[in-house]
Structure 1
């Protein structure tokens, strides 16, 4: 009776051992959800908008900004990150302004919105501003008050403090502008700049009495603190902060404004467009 029970227990142990010594089962798989990778933000572009009231927006000096029409643009004038003034230019006929190229290219103003920067490889006539020395010949700006022959500074023939600057404005066009040195300074013809009377002495250019037939208005006076900056400015947009707020005009002086024998008020004659009358 005991033997059959032992045999039964032995068989049960062997079966249990065989099943327990099989290959271990793999651990259960539980999928892990990781957060998605962040999506990089898209870069934004700020577009400077120009309107008719020509409000100033921060920009780099010399930067060209589209104007109110496809054939116009503004140039920022001033110091880094600050536009002191914006000056409007018009493209040559048959061209439109492309901001990416910073110039005018051949195209129709009616379809300028569809033009791409590579739509035309034909450049426009000379750019809006050129440095001195880049032109073989010049044309005279009709709005100037001096008959310029080449860029430079030229003394006024009847006022030691005043001088003309002939500067290349756009497309090899020279413009003559009348300026005045500050009080206590004269324009020195040798130095080609304003100099202190205490250092260079008095001026004798105005020794010949001349009755002026016109005067130029307004005439900006360069402050003593700005003299170095002014005479270091050889490009038109660098000179623009020193220009008067209103365009210079030639104002005739009527003969009856003077009485015979009266001392003439020394005006600006130079190479102006109206000749002076020499006193007897």
Structure 2
């Protein structure tokens, strides 16, 4: 086992395409270089190999909007069930279809494929594009399908407690949905990246650039010499931290990529570890 990279979690960026274009989004910003979506067979192979060797505790599909390609999401989670990954998640904007029967079909297929947690983004930004009625129907379909855990994930501006027009709108949206038995995950705070740098600059803190500060200062990341999760990009590249790619699983064996990871042999990573920790 690699002492610098112990895989406790696998994340899949199914696609960076999205059916909405939120004014704060950083997920789809600058992602034009990537394939439309990850290859389904490759994704299954990665789950199978990593799952068997490292016994990760969780797996998650995100995007873009992952359910633009539902068959890939189903396949990944079925494989995760087979290798015994206990926590199986999807993050989505909930805009799967305008057709109620299609929404129910997708929800049922997600449940049958082994998804146990669905996190739906709801806030002032998403609801500029996604009708709240659609989100409600999606949540209801997930509940009816037997999804074990359903959560709202709002994006807050400045902080959850800050009183600004975006947060007020987000609180109003959550209020409208509070009759549903869906927990509030707490969400996250808008990052100084992507479209937010253009549209929301007055609300943003100064952006720290690599190698200033440690990599784990960036949300959803680990220190580079004790990484516990990998992110699989749509083209098969394996990422640690943010945009640090350590290999491509479509070109090399994913286990070899993981086992050969040494941040001290990569100058940019070494600079972060030596100067930022």
TM-score class, shorter: under 0.3
Higher percent of residues as strand? 1
Higher percent of residues as helix? 2
Question: Which one has the largest radius of gyration?
Answer: 1
Greater relative CO (CA pairs within 8 A, separation 6+): 2
- TM-score after normalising by structure 2: 0.22
